[in-house]
Amino acid sequence: MTYGCAVTAKLIAEEPEFAALVAQEASVLVPEYEGKFAALQPEEGRFETGPLDALLAWAGHFRKTVRGHALVWHQDLPPWAVAAIGESPRRARGVMEAHFDRVLAHTRPRIRDWDVVNEPIANPPGSDVPEPAGNTTDLRDTPWLRALGPDYIAIALRAARDRDPLLRITLNDYGVEDDTPSSEEKRQRLLRLLRGLRARNVPIDAVGIQAHLQLRNPFRPDQFRDFVRQIRALDLQVLITELDVRELRPPVGDFPARDFAVAQRVHAFASAAFEGGARTLLTWGISDRWSWLHREQAVALAAGDVHRGLPYDWELNRKQMWR
Ligand code: XIL
């Protein structure tokens, strides 16, 4: 299997311990911010590739592969883009095409795999962050969907293929891992989308499963393995793209028990993914110290505590999850 993780150009430049860990452990890197729309085109027509280029240069020095993330997403659209996309379908297409033109031409020599569409599936009822009532379709309500209709996905995937015929085109999403009714519904929604794309011959090579796991949700390895197989049966590759684990009201201080629970879940999850046919696994960060989990997803934690959901802890010791 191939292991990789999300990094930022800033951490690589400013935290030598982070850079050393990544250099040692990861063979694939993905930028946590630097490939997002607002990072790359903060104002219309002004492209900012400095941070992404810095990351690519560092990766090149250490002979690491870099994946791209993410061309079309509902988050991290700068205000100008939200407004422009909302003007008319024609304008929305123009915004998408201009972004793809510049970004893919720039990264083509170095990035051979992009999350072209990120998080397109609507969260079913019962999810942590359900879609607003009223959206009963499979697709998330986004500026792109409102402007271009459900076809925005095919439009984006084709636009990527047109600009880079050998790019591995990946569609990435989350919330499809658990043994819960909403996760099951999201799996079915994703499979319907993928089958529809296949039936229409829309270019797509891989599915990214983010895997921001939550210990409070039940997990059934055979169920998840079969889901991965169903994607593979459509002749699509499967990557685990953003693995980490949120804990359930962790007992304060009891690190061994917590780390065991996290490692157990990751072992069950990763084994099922590999049995199903996934070959690549990336974690979203590498150490709890710099994880988005405590910056943004700290629910259920005591003040001052952090989720222990990555292979290395705050002190940069390997945890059981690493094994
Ligand atoms: C997250 C970053 O980690 C955060 O720091 C940022 O504020 C928001 O985005 N799914 C994705 C990633 O596809 O891009 C998200 O990354 C995490 C969830």
How many CB atoms sit inside 10 A of residue 284's CB? 20
Where in the chain are the domains?
Answer: 2-322
- pLDDT tens track for 147-191: 999 999 999 999 999 999 999 999 999 999 999 999 999 999 999
DSSP-derived 3-state class of residue 149: helix
Taken in order 40, 42, 45, 49, the sign of the CA dihedral is negative
The reported pLDDT for the residue numbered 130 is: 82
For 137, the token pair is 């379709």
The pLDDT > 90 percentage for the chain reads: 90
Query: Phi and psi for 139 in degrees, rounded to 5?
Result: -100, 145
Mutate which of 30, 36, 121, 242 for ligand 1 pocket (most atoms within 8 A of beta carbon): 242
- CA of 246 from ligand 1 middle (Å) equals 14
Nearest residue by C-alpha to atom 4 in ligand 1: 292
**Residue corresponding to tokens 């150009």:** 9
- CATH superfamily assigned to domain 2-322: Glycosidases (3.20.20.80)
How many CB atoms sit inside 10 A of residue 133's CB? 7
- Find residue 170's DSSP bridge partners: 115, 206
Q: Beta strands 111-118 and 2-7: pairing type?
A: unpaired
Does the pLDDT of residue 133 top 80, yes or no? no
DSSP code at position 44 = T
The reported pLDDT for the residue numbered 128 is: 82
Does the pLDDT of residue 260 top 80, yes or no? yes
pTM: 0.97
- pLDDT tens track for 47-93: 999 999 999 999 999 999 999 999 999 999 999 999 999 999 999 99
Task: Name the band, by pLDDT with cuts 50, 70 and 90, for residue 117.
Answer: very high
Task: Give the binding-site residues of ligand 1, using a 6 Å CB cut-off.
Answer: 32, 118, 210, 242, 292, 296
Does the pLDDT of residue 304 top 90, yes or no? no
Does the pLDDT of residue 136 top 80, yes or no? no
DSSP-derived 3-state class of residue 113: strand
CA gyration radius, the chain: 19
